[in-house]
Chain A
Amino acid sequence: MIQLLQNLIDAISLGSIYALVALGIGLLFGILRLINFAHGDFITIGSYALIVPSADVTARLLIGAWAWPVMIPTICLIVVIVALLTDALAFRPLRRASSPTLMIASFAVSYIIQHGVLMAYGSRPKAVDLWSGANTQVLIGDLRVPMLQLITLAVTLVLMLAISLFLKKTSYGVQMRAAAEDFRMAQYLGVRGNVVIGIAFAISGILAAAVSLLYTTQSGSLSYTMGVPLALFAFVAVVVGGMGSLVGAVVGGFTIGFIVTMLQAYLPPDLRAFRDAFAFAFVILVLLVRPAGLVPARSTFERV
């Protein structure tokens, strides 16, 4: 029983990370119809910004050594700037391009960022000790929960609440939802397309920065491809949740986190190496039953 609860907490914690990444990808897809595979590399940039640029194996903290009230906003700012630059340089010239074109452009951006990091920091993975105190265990009854998992969950909930309030209560939030539903019509009503898209990129940058800090603290290592598996699983989460639905992205993120953690815990040891194959097989099953995802977009039907 305790073991199951322990696994559940692991699943929620991993699911939170996937949900945050999926939210960043889902937000841009909603507005731009862009599946941004470079989102994982935004995370990589946030993590590498913590250390001194050099090819040394041992990483020395740079921004990561600053006090956290300064460090967190700085990392967010850096990733937001990268996200906005990506939009301005790569995606803005492609505004009228089709969805597959945008996706391929995002692969290009992804490669450019990865190899930029490779040139500046070298290819070998680096060990980073961002916050060793985060692994202290908190006892809840008989459960031992690493503090970092609680923090991850809290950060996820706060960010989701903030985004949901932004989308519901602010004028730019309402404009973003309108643009996500019918971009051209929103423009006809005076909604500035590039501003709304810029805000979406900025929010996805903040989400990526949050993940880079949580993930680096947890894994304690950096590599120039660290964002790729995160973006891949998050993309799968977006598909499982329902393309174009933000609630779906979150639900999908937690679902994938749950599946991966449970497979890791309960698969026979010989099969654990194939965990991801089982996870993706499960995804196929989900999509066979619900092709539009768990929470399909546009659930309110429109009359003719």
Chain B
Amino acid sequence: MLVEVDDIHVRYGDLVALRGISLKVEESEVVCIIGPNGAGKSTTLAAIAGGVTPHAGTIRVGGQSILGQRPEQVARLGLSLVPEGRHIFGTLTVEENLRIGGYIQRDRAAAKADFDRLLELFPRLAERLRFPAGRLSGGEQQMLAVARAVMTRPRLLLVDEPSLGLAPKIIDQIYEILLDLRQRVKLTLLINEQSSTRILKHADRLYVLRGGRMQLEGRAADLQDGEAIRHAYFGFDEGQAARMETTA
């Protein structure tokens, strides 16, 4: 088991974000968490990456608890987060953004080799190495965020809403890159998305999150018709919807 999240609760002050989330990710899986805005998807990924500390529950990576570890320590265990909104270092050049990810490696020659190999995968970035990263287009920034995270040589890539604010064609490219990387560098993927339409054909397993609770989990192959997902996502069936209409 690569990552095992067991019944974590997270609060921001008075606001309860997660009310007992459990999930697991096995080596070389593609797992997706879907859910509406504010469901707690980003908080779940941030908690796994060490950016948020749950006040109850455990998170294990390779069997070891990582609770209370700082993000830079979790990164050294082979987990890398591509956050929502990309968080590119806009005043640094594209090259510097990529190098930051490589500093974690003790072996400088290996980091250099990774850098060169990534540039072959991302020709758009290779052309813009000296650019301030803030000047890249949204799609290019998302690619940079992915490439930068891969520079840390992660076993598990946590990707938070990669399609946010991007054109459908660009989103397809991003997914192509993610799945291609998965083959080439043996990545495990845990991806957050708001919609299941694109992810259903790529994911091995799916979790549906709403209101800080896990509503549904299952193999993507079993959920293809989408009915169960819709139910979990919106939280009511047609009968309930009808009742709500009559009371309104």
Q: Would you call B89 an interface residue if the criterion is a C-beta within 8 Å of the partner chain's C-beta atoms?
A: yes
Least distance between A81 CB and chain B CB atoms (Å)? 25
Contacts of A301 in B (CB 8 A): 90, 134
Are B87 and A182 closer than 8 Å at their CB atoms? yes
The contact of B134 among A178, A185, A192, A302, by CB within 8 Å, is: A302
Complex CA–CA separation, A189 to B92 (angstroms) = 15
Encode B111-150 as 1/0 by CB contact (under 8 A) with A.
Answer: 0000000000000000000001011111001000000110
In this assembly, does B71 line the interface, its C-beta being within 8 Å of a C-beta of chain A? yes
Is A181's CB under 8 angstroms from B89's CB?
A: yes
B179 to chain A, nearest CB (A): 22
Number of interface residues of A (CB under 8 A): 24
Q: Given A188-B80, A190-B72, are A300 and B134 also a contact pair (CB < 8 Å)?
A: yes
7 closest cross-chain pairs (CB), A and B: A190-B104, A190-B75, A300-B134, A187-B71, A185-B87, A302-B90, A300-B132
User: A residues bordering B, Cβ < 8 Å?
Assistant: 171, 174-175, 177-178, 181-182, 184-193, 298-304
Report the minimum CB–CB distance from A76 to chain B (whole Å): 27
| With contact pairs A303-B138, A304-B165 given, residues A189 and B91 touching in the complex (Cβ less than 8 Å) | no
Q: Is B162 an interface residue when CB atoms closer than 8 A count as contact?
A: no
CA distance A191 to B99 in the complex (A): 11
Contact A187 B72 (CB under 8 A): yes
Min CB–CB distance B184 → chain A (angstroms): 20
In the bound complex, how far is the Cα of B152 from the Cα of A21, in angstroms? Answer: 36
Chain B positions 67-103 with a Cβ under 8 Å from a chain A Cβ: 70-72, 75-76, 80-81, 83, 87-92, 96-97, 99-101, 103
Could you list which residues of chain B lie within 8 angstroms of chain A, going by C-beta atoms? 49-51, 70-72, 75-76, 80-81, 83, 87-92, 96-97, 99-101, 103-104, 132, 134-138, 141, 148-149, 151-152, 165
Residue of A nearest to B151 (CB): A189
Closest CB of chain A to B118's CB: distance in Å? 14
Q: Is the CB of A171 within 8 A of B99?
A: yes
Is B89 in contact with A177, judged by CB distance below 8 angstroms? Answer: yes
Tell me the minimal C-beta distance from B89 to chain A in angstroms.
5
Q: Are A171 and B103 in contact (CB under 8 A)?
A: yes
Tell me whether A174 and B99 are in contact (CB under 8 A): yes
Residues in B with CB closer than 8 Å to A177 are: 89, 91-92, 96
B residues near A175, Cβ cutoff 8 Å: 100, 103
The distance from the CB of B70 to the nearest CB of chain A, in whole angstroms, is 7
Q: Are A188 and B71 in contact (CB under 8 A)?
A: yes
Expressed in whole angstroms, the minimum distance between the Cβ of B99 and any Cβ of chain A is: 6
Q: Are B92 and A174 in contact (CB under 8 A)?
A: yes
Chain B residues whose CB sits within 8 angstroms of the CB of A298 once the complex forms:
90-91
Closest to A171 in B: B103
- Please tell me if the beta carbons of A190 and B92 are within 8 angstroms of each other in the complex: no
Nearest A-chain residue to B97, judged by Cβ: A178
Q: Are B49 and A188 interface neighbours, CB within 8 A?
A: yes
A174 CB to nearest B CB, Å: 5
CB <8 Å contact, A182 and B137: no
In this complex, the member of A175, A181, A189, A301 whose beta carbon has the largest number of chain B beta carbons within 10 angstroms is A189
CB contact under 8 A between A178 and B90, given known A187-B70, A190-B72, A302-B134: no
Question: Bound state CA distance, A188 and B132, in angstroms?
Answer: 21
Q: Check B136 against A188 for contact (C-beta < 8 Å).
A: no
Contact B51 A188 (CB under 8 A): yes
Shortest distance in angstroms between A248's beta carbon and chain B's nearest beta carbon?
13
Provided the pairs A185-B87, A189-B148 are in contact, do residues A300 and B101 lie with their beta carbons within 8 angstroms?
Answer: no
A303 nearest CB neighbor, chain B only: B138
Contact residues in A for B75 (Cβ distance below 8 Å): 187-190
Candidates B80, B138, B141, B165; contact of A189 at CB < 8 Å: B80
